Amino acid sequence: MVELLPRLRRLGRVLARDGADADDLVQLTLERALARRAQWRPGTSLASWMFRIMKNAWIDESRSRTRRGGVFLPQEAGEGVGDTGAEALDARLALGEVERALARLPDEQRAAVALVLVEGLSYQEAAQVLEIPAGTLTSRLVRGRLALAAHLQETAA
Amino acid sequence: MTRDERLFAYVDGELDAADRAAFEAEMAADPQLAAEVALHQSLADRVSAAYAPVLDEPVPPRLVAMAATANDEASRGARLGLPAWAAMAACLVAGVLAGRLAWPQSGLLVSRGGDLVARGDLATALGAQLTAEPGVVRVGLTFRAADGRYCRTFHSARERLAGLACRQGDHWIAEVAMPFRPGPTPDYRTAASDTPPAVLATVDRLIAGAPLDAAQERAARDSGWR
């Protein structure tokens, strides 16, 4: 499991967008993997299994953040979504061009792009990690990468 | 498949041989399509390159300790005939939490109160081995930190672990520990040694003066690293 840590941190970096949040996500993933280790089937990919746990932890985290935001920070509602949020994030993190473009993608497209382009999974593996049909994966990949290309051309122009 | 789906499947190597050949024939006849393929190929390379450096960053010790604990529990589970978590464990380091010290361990690091403490072969090597002497664990370089502690870099091909530990009291505390990938990976075959870049960065952060030479290192060891 120690051997997988660098890859988990890398995937976490794309999903959570922020280094500190990414490591919190890795920690949550390790906690869950440890608690559910009996569910892993020997002979299957440990990396894919842990990526799936990370994906679910990330979705749960995002949901609870949205909930907290909705309850406690009504004036700021909406700030964390869309381009405004992405711009605030840019300023705070001084991300590179590619990271910035990726951070602007909707979560589900970013996850598909992360698994295929960053982690190098096959479409089949990525669809299994995300627990979605193959057709859904390819359509998210297509939309995500067309948007990515558009964002990057915008910055280049 | 739509036109774009085929395009990306081609870029990602997801088409079978026949579809690939057909697609390449279309590309040869359609410069616009070929240009789009080239654009998305370079985009894919940029995305993967942007995140590649994360793999060489030092992993925060709290995460190493947690994953190590998982390995430890794994070997324990296997011994008890519980589900085959053992196969899952990379068995790189085994963490031991307080109260479980009686369990036989083969790990190099133990997590104690938030610190990663060297044990077993690692503790032995750090305490006794001189730089470049052979062993399961090899010591890279030895130096004094600005706060006066002796610190040593180490790596173990067998245990797949690299890092840097400093002497505190009677223990060596790991300042950084990370997976070590043995073999001719260019990133890890730096001119100086087998030391991963992230470990060298920690050396730069801590070191006061120059690394110890062989005579100084021997003298420090013989006086118990005090």
List the domain boundaries for chain B.
3-53, 61-222
pLDDT at A36: 86
Q: Which residues of B108-121 are buried (b: 16+ CB within 10 A; e: fewer)?
A: bbbbbeeebbbbbb
CB distance A4–B73 less than 8 Å? no
Structure tokens at A45: 């990919």
Distance in angstroms (rounded) separating the CA atoms of residues A113 and B199: 30
Assess: ipTM above 0.85: no
Order of strands across the sheet that contains B161-168? B109-112, B115-118, B171-179, B161-168, B150-156, B138-144
CB-based contact B90:B76 (threshold 8 Å): no
CB distance A4–B77 less than 8 Å? no
Q: Is the pTM of this model over 0.90?
A: no
Of B202, B200, B197, whose CA–CA distance to B181 is shortest? B197
Using the predicted structure, report yes or no on whether residue A71 has a pLDDT greater than 80.
no
How many Å lie between the alpha carbon of B140 and the closest alpha carbon of chain A? 21
Of B155, B113, B202, B51, whose CA–CA distance to A14 is shortest? B51
Domains of chain A: 2-156 (1.20.140.160)
Which of chain B's residues have a Cβ under 8 Å away from the Cβ of A34? 66, 69-70, 73
Distance in angstroms (rounded) separating the CA atoms of residues A34 and A31: 5
Best mean pLDDT range from A63-72, B33-42, B187-196: B33-42
CB-based contact A23:A9 (threshold 8 Å): yes
Distance in angstroms (rounded) separating the CA atoms of residues A51 and A57: 10
What digits encode the pLDDT tens for the residues B155-170?
A: 888 777 888 999 999 9
